[in-house]
A = this chain, B = another copy of it.
């Protein structure tokens, strides 16, 4: 088949990303391939190389959608009533819930199997940044408005909660369910901030 005006470039790109999201969600990242994505949208694999640099590029775009969904998932149910530590604890809960509910896509976010020297795309880093920004904002009251401190504390908390979630969901800490993982994350958030604020006074 030659040129056919079924879809614009943009449409093609969106179709591929959507199909990729579904493929990962339904059958796991293990089962993902650029050929299957192509088949799913009725194109050949070669065509996708007009739209994406390579397979990794497609995965980054799929992961980008997942990050959007994650951000949305966290923000929508982030009760505006909740203040301070409670709000952050709720964020941790939501992160773990998301990781559990959309486990395959969440796993895909942290696939490392890429060339040793490769770097994450700039636009992707910016998206990650905006996730950190949410908690940074919530942390400002605890660090007397110092944004640099907030950034550091946010890294500790995001990193910490992610680590608990990561080791937990991949069975590397035993058979703990998500409820226990939330308890652990809450403990981390509560006591870390408690320790932090007291040290400063």
A64 within 8 A of B: no
A190 within 8 A of B: yes
Q: Are A116 and B30 in contact (CB under 8 A)?
A: yes
* Interface bin, chain A: 35 or more
Consensus secondary structure, chain A interface: helix
How many copies altogether? 2
A147 within 8 A of B: no
CA distance A120 to B188 in the complex (A): 26
Return A28 CB to nearest CB of chain B, in Å: 4
Given A163-B162, A167-B159, A167-B162, is A112 in contact with B115 using a C-beta cutoff of 8 Å? no
Q: Are A191 and B187 in contact (CB under 8 A)?
A: no
Interface residues of A (CB under 8 A from B): 27-30, 103-104, 107, 110-116, 119-120, 125, 128-129, 132, 152, 155-156, 158-168, 170-174, 176, 184, 187-188, 190-196, 198-199
